[in-house]
Chains A and B, each alone.
Chain A
Amino acid sequence: MRTPGTPYRAARAAGTRPARPSLRTSLTAAAAGGAMLMATACGGGGDGGGGDVTLTIDTFGVMGYEALLEQFEEETGIAVEERNVTDTADYTPQLQQNIAAGSGAGDVVAIEEANIAQFLAQDDRFVDLAEHGAAEMQGDFLEWKWEQGTTPEGKIVGLGTDIGSMGMCYDTQLFEDAGLPTDREEVSALWPTWDDFISTGEEFADAETGAAFVSTIQPYFRAVTSQAGGAPFQNEEGELVLESNEDTRASYDTVVSMSDLSANLPIWSDEWNSGIQNNAFATLPCPAWMLGHIENTAGDAGAGRWDVAAVPGGSGNWGGSFLAVPEQSEHPEEAAELARFLTSPEGQLGAWNEANTLPSSPEALESDDVLEFTRPYFNDAPVGEIYATTAMELEPVYYGPDTQAVDDAFRAALESVEQGQAEPDEAWETAVAESERAAG
C-alpha cells in the first residue's frame, strides 16, 4: 500500500517538465510504478515549480472532491479547476460531444457507470492509464469495478471512484402512522423479496396516511434489474437483449405492479423534491450518494425522520463513477496523476468522508472510516456498515453503450404506466422500440 501523499510529492517535479513520450514509455514498460520512477528520473524541477500546469476536472453530481483537490494542489503544486454539472443527463451528452470533437473536455473527466461502455467503445480517445502507472492499482478495486473501466484488450480507460450499493430509505414517521415497525432491523425483515416489499406497500396504503409508498416506480427498475446481474439491456456485442433476457421483462413486470403505490412524482423533478420536503412518500431506494440528496433537500425539518434498511432482494447497485483522461489533454501525465490520486484508497476515503460516496476499493470499504460511520441525520444509522456489507456481495452488471438512452426510454414508459397513460404491455413495446432506435 502506498503511504498517503508521498508519491504525489515526489511527482511534483514531473509537472514542471514537458512530456517526453519516449522516455516515459520505456520507463513505464521497465517497471511498475513508472510514474514515480519517471518523477525521479526527470526530477530537478524543484519544489513549487509546478505552478505552470493547471488541470481541469469535469465532474457531475456530488463527488466530494473539494478537500482532496486542495490537498493535491498543495502536494504537487499543480492547480486544479473543478467544473461540476448537477445532472448526468446534461453532463454526459456534453462530454460525448467534447470527446467526439477532440476538444473542450477536462484533463480528467468523470464518467457514470451507465455510460462507461459508451466511452470504452471509443477507447482511442482516451489515455491508457496503464502507461501512467495505473496497472499496479488493480488490487485497490473491487474486481467488477476494475473490469468495467477496462477494455477487453486490457486498456485502462477509467479508474473506479464510488459505487452505488443500495439500501432502502424509509420515513419512520410515516411508517409509525401506518402501524408498521420503525426499527431498521424489523423493517429489513419486512421485505426479504420485492413481493414482500409490495405487500408491505399495500398494507401501508390501506392505513391511509395520506402519503404514497414510493415516489415513482422508475428507480426500482434499475434496482431490480441490477440484482439479476449479467447484461440486462445490451450484451457486450452491443446487441439489445431487452426481449431475449427474461430477467429484464420479469423486473419490468415486478416494477409496474407497484404503480398503485406510487406518488407519480418524476424523479429529480422539482415536484419530486417537493415530495421529499412534504413527506409525500415513505420509501426511496438509497444508494449511498442518495443520502446526501435527501439530507440537502429535506433540510433540518427532515432530520431524524428517515432511516436506512436493507433493500429487498439483498443487494443491488445503482450508479457509481469512473475517472478517465481524454487523449486531448495537454497534460496526460499530470492528469493521470490526479486520477490515480482521487481513486486511490485514500482518495476514495477522502470522498467518502466528504460526501458519503461509497468507495469501490475493498481496502477503503473495510476501513474503520467506513464501517464505523453513522449518519446522525438518519437516526444514526450505521450506513457505512450497511453499504459496505452489501457491496462485497454485488453481482457485476454489464451496461452497454446505449444504456443512457435505454434508461430514458424506460423512464418514460414506467412514468406513463404509473400516471395511467399507457398499459404496461403497450409501454414496454414503446420503450423497446425507442431503445432500438437509439441503439440502431
Chain B
Amino acid sequence: MRRFARLRAAVDTKGAPYLFIAPFFLLFGVFGLFPLLYTVWVSLHDWSLIGGNEGFAGLDNYARLVSDAKFWNALLNTLGIFVVAVVPQLMLALLIADTLNRAIRGRGLFQMALIIPYVTSIAAMAIVFSTLFGTQFGLINQVLGMVGIDPVNWRGGRFSSWVAIAVMIDWRWLGYNTLIYLAAMQAVPRDMYEAASLDGASRIRQFLQITIPMLRPTILFTVIISTIGQMQLFTEPAVFDTGGAMQGGTQGQFQTVMMLVFQEAFRYGDYGYGAAVSWVLFWIIVVLGAVNALLARTIKGAP
C-alpha cells in the first residue's frame, strides 16, 4: 500500500503536469501537426481531388510555383493588402488608445464599443461591406457622388480593391489592437508623464518619447500577430468577390495566396499544387515572423 501511495505521489508530481497539458497537444497533433506534415506529403505528389494520389512528383509542384505568375500576383496582393491595411490600422490604434488613456467621460463605453466589430461574424461583416462598396448602388459611391467624385469601381482596380478590403480588415481589428495598446499604456508608470510635464514636455512629445518607446514590445507583438493573420487573408476578399470562383476580381486584382490555394485545390481539384502553395506560404510566414523577432531583439537592445 505504501509503495502504491509513493508511486501515486510520484505520478502526481511528475506526470500530472503532462496530463494537464496533454489535451492541447493531442488536439494540436490531430488537427495541427498532422495536417501540416500531411500537406508536405501531398505537395510532393500529383494529387487530385477526384483521383487521389496519382504518383510521386518530387519537387515539380514547387518548380511550377516559382514560375507561376498567378502565385507571384497573389503574393503581391497579399503583401499589398497587408501594408495598406495594417500600417494605418496600428497607427490609428495607437492614437485611439492614447486618447482613451486620458481621463475622458464614458471610457468604459468606448472600450466596449471598440471590441464589438471584433465579435461580429466576419462573413456577415464582409457581406455588409461588399454591399457598401457596390459600384452603382453602393452607399459609399453615392456619398462620393454627393461631393462630386465619380463612382469608383472598387472591385475593378487593383489599388481600389485593396483599399476596400483593408477597410474591412481595419474595421474588425482596430478595436482589438487598440485595447492591447491601451492595456500596455496603463502599465506605463504615471510618474514618467508627471516628470515630463514638469519639464514642460507637450502631450505630443510625451506620446512620442515616453508612450511609443515604452510600448515597443507591445507594438512588435501586434505587428507579428497581424503579419501571421494577414498573410492568410481569405474571408474578406473571398466574400468581397462576386461569385464563388475565388478569382479575386476579374483579373485577380485581389486574389490572395489563400484564395489561390483554395482555387487550385477545391475549384480545380489540384491538391498537390494547392498543398505546395500553402506550404510555401507557411515558410513565408515563418521567415516574416523571424525577421520580426530579430527586429524586436535589436530594438530592445538599442539604448
Report yes or no: B242 in contact with A422, Cβ–Cβ below 8 A. Answer: no
Of B136, B243, B266, the residue contacting A280 (CB under 8 A) is B136
Report yes or no: B138 in contact with A271, Cβ–Cβ below 8 A. Answer: yes
Report yes or no: B250 in contact with A419, Cβ–Cβ below 8 A. Answer: yes
Chain B contact residues, CB within 8 Å of chain A:
49-50, 52, 130-131, 134-138, 153, 155-156, 242-245, 247, 249-251, 266-269
A267 — which chain B residues lie within 8 A by C-beta? 242-243
Residue from A275, A280, A412, A413 having most chain B Cβ neighbours under 10 A: A412
Contact A412-B247, Cβ < 8 Å, known A264-B135, A419-B156: yes
Report yes or no: B247 in contact with A93, Cβ–Cβ below 8 A. Answer: no
B135 — which chain A residues lie within 8 A by C-beta? 264, 271
B242 — which chain A residues lie within 8 A by C-beta? 266-269, 271
With an 8 A cutoff between CB atoms, is A263 at the interface? yes
Complex CA gap A230/B243 in Å reads 27
Report yes or no: A96 in contact with B49, Cβ–Cβ below 8 A. Answer: yes
Of B245, B247, B250, B268, the residue contacting A421 (CB under 8 A) is B250
| Contacts A/B (CB < 8 Å), 12 sampled | A87-B244, A89-B244, A97-B49, A100-B50, A265-B136, A267-B242, A271-B134, A271-B138, A408-B245, A412-B247, A421-B250, A438-B268
Q: Which residue of chain A lies nearest to B252 when distances are taken between CB atoms in the complex?
A: A412
For chain A, residues 388 to 436, give those with C-beta under 8 angstroms from any C-beta of chain B: 404-405, 408, 411-413, 415-416, 419, 421-422, 430
With an 8 A cutoff between CB atoms, is A26 at the interface? no
A415 — which chain B residues lie within 8 A by C-beta? 250
Report yes or no: B131 in contact with A270, Cβ–Cβ below 8 A. Answer: yes
Question: Interface residues of A, CB < 8 Å — how many?
Answer: 36
Report yes or no: A274 in contact with B250, Cβ–Cβ below 8 A. Answer: no
Report yes or no: A412 in contact with B251, Cβ–Cβ below 8 A. Answer: yes
Shortest B236–chain A CB gap in Å is 16
Report yes or no: A438 in contact with B267, Cβ–Cβ below 8 A. Answer: yes
**Interface residues of A, dominant DSSP:** helix
**What is the 8 Å Cβ interface bit string for chain A, positions 258-294, against chain B (1 contact, 0 not)?**
0000011111111100110010100000000000000
Q: Which residue of chain B lies nearest to A118 when distances are taken between CB atoms in the complex?
A: B50
B250 — which chain A residues lie within 8 A by C-beta? 412-413, 415-416, 419, 421-422
Shortest A27–chain B CB gap in Å is 33
Shortest A203–chain B CB gap in Å is 23
Shortest A282–chain B CB gap in Å is 15
Shortest B47–chain A CB gap in Å is 11
For chain A, residues 320 to 358, give those with C-beta under 8 angstroms from any C-beta of chain B: none
Report yes or no: B137 in contact with A274, Cβ–Cβ below 8 A. Answer: yes
A274 — which chain B residues lie within 8 A by C-beta? 134, 136-137
With an 8 A cutoff between CB atoms, is A20 at the interface? no
Shortest B199–chain A CB gap in Å is 57
B268 — which chain A residues lie within 8 A by C-beta? 405, 437-438
A422 — which chain B residues lie within 8 A by C-beta? 250-251
With an 8 A cutoff between CB atoms, is A241 at the interface? no
Complex CA gap A408/B153 in Å reads 20
B247 — which chain A residues lie within 8 A by C-beta? 408, 412
B269 — which chain A residues lie within 8 A by C-beta? 96
Complex CA gap A263/B223 in Å reads 42
Of A100, A121, A266, A271, the residue contacting B243 (CB under 8 A) is A266
A263 — which chain B residues lie within 8 A by C-beta? 136
B155 — which chain A residues lie within 8 A by C-beta? 266
Of B50, B137, B249, the residue contacting A278 (CB under 8 A) is B137
Shortest B270–chain A CB gap in Å is 8
Of A270, A411, A438, the residue contacting B130 (CB under 8 A) is A270
With an 8 A cutoff between CB atoms, is A122 at the interface? yes
Residue from B131, B138, B153, B251 having most chain A Cβ neighbours under 10 A: B251
Complex CA gap A267/B245 in Å reads 13
Contact A421-B251, Cβ < 8 Å, known A265-B136, A270-B131, A274-B137: yes
A237 — which chain B residues lie within 8 A by C-beta? none
Residue from B243, B251, B266 having most chain A Cβ neighbours under 10 A: B243
Shortest B261–chain A CB gap in Å is 14
Complex CA gap A100/B265 in Å reads 13
Beyond the given A93-B266, A122-B50, A271-B138, please list 9 additional residue pairs across the A-B interface where CB-CB is below 8 A: A93-B244, A93-B267, A266-B242, A266-B243, A274-B137, A275-B137, A408-B267, A412-B251, A422-B251
Complex CA gap A395/B247 in Å reads 32
With an 8 A cutoff between CB atoms, is A208 at the interface? no
B52 — which chain A residues lie within 8 A by C-beta? 100
Contact A411-B245, Cβ < 8 Å, known A271-B138, A275-B137: yes
A275 — which chain B residues lie within 8 A by C-beta? 136-137
Contact A100-B138, Cβ < 8 Å, known A408-B267, A419-B156: no
Complex CA gap A408/B250 in Å reads 10
Contact A411-B50, Cβ < 8 Å, known A265-B136, A271-B138: no
Shortest A400–chain B CB gap in Å is 14
Q: Which residue of chain A lies nearest to B271 when distances are taken between CB atoms in the complex?
A: A100
With an 8 A cutoff between CB atoms, is A90 at the interface? yes
A266 — which chain B residues lie within 8 A by C-beta? 155, 242-243
Complex CA gap A275/B242 in Å reads 15
Report yes or no: A89 in contact with B50, Cβ–Cβ below 8 A. Answer: no
A269 — which chain B residues lie within 8 A by C-beta? 134, 242-243
Report yes or no: A100 in contact with B49, Cβ–Cβ below 8 A. Answer: yes
Shortest A90–chain B CB gap in Å is 5
